Structure 1
Amino acid sequence: MNLEPTTGSIISEEEAKKMIALFAEKFPKQTVSSFIGSDNVKKILEQEESIGIRIYNGYDEEVQKISLVLVGVNKEEEDILKNGIIYDRMVICPPACPKVGLV
């Protein structure tokens, strides 16, 4: 599979809600969602070589929960690591959940 700036698929609200509910059922004590600000997303995407973002599942031992790690990806389909911008430590739900959202 080739990685392109257009990789990804739009899904319906119903599909999203089903996937989120199934995750909650299988992993009831894990993080429901993570929030990262648009300025930080832009910093990853604005790296000279970046064609997109790869999102890794990580585990934060401090809070004992799944934690997402975001890193830029170049056209060779490799993570941008040397002097690259990598993010973690986002705002998680719970406790910071939306009043109206997918859950």
Structure 2
Amino acid sequence: MNLDPTTGSIISEEEAKKIITLFAEKFPKQTVSSFIGSDNVKKILEQEGCIGIRIYNGYDEEAQKISLVLVGVDKEEQDILEYGIIYDRMATCPPFCPKPKIGLV
């Protein structure tokens, strides 16, 4: 597979809920979800040559939880690092969770 602006697949709500539930069962004390604002996503995507975003699983030692790291990717499938925009420290669930019966959890 080559990376390009169309990489990724749409899944159903049912599939998403199954994947999320399985994760919660396997890792009950971990972060359920992370939120990043659209302005920050745009900042990554608007970098010169950026074709998408790579999401790394990281670990926040202080909070003792999974922490996502977002970085832009160029057409050579390389992370945009030098002077690139990299995000972490998003709003996590808990405590910033969707309202019951509205979100995926």
TM range (shorter): over 0.9
The residue number in structure 2 matching 1:66 is: 66
Q: Aligned runs of 1:1-103 on 2, under 5 Å? A: 1-99=1-99, 100-103=102-105
Give unmatched runs, 5+ long, in structure 1: none
**TM-score, length of structure 2 as denominator length:** 0.97
- Structure 2: distance between partners of 1:38 and 1:47: 15
Give unmatched runs, 5+ long, in structure 2: none
**TM-score, length of structure 1 as denominator length:** 0.99
Question: 1:62 deviation in Å?
Answer: 1.1
3-state SS of 2:22 partner = helix
Deviations 1:47-76 (A, max 9, x none): 011000000000001100000000000000
Name the aligned partner's letter for residue 9 of structure 1. S
- Structure 1: distance between partners of 2:36 and 2:6: 21
Alpha-carbon RMSD across the aligned residues, in angstroms, is 0.4
Q: Percent sequence identity over matched residues?
A: 86
- Structure 1: distance between partners of 2:96 and 2:37: 14
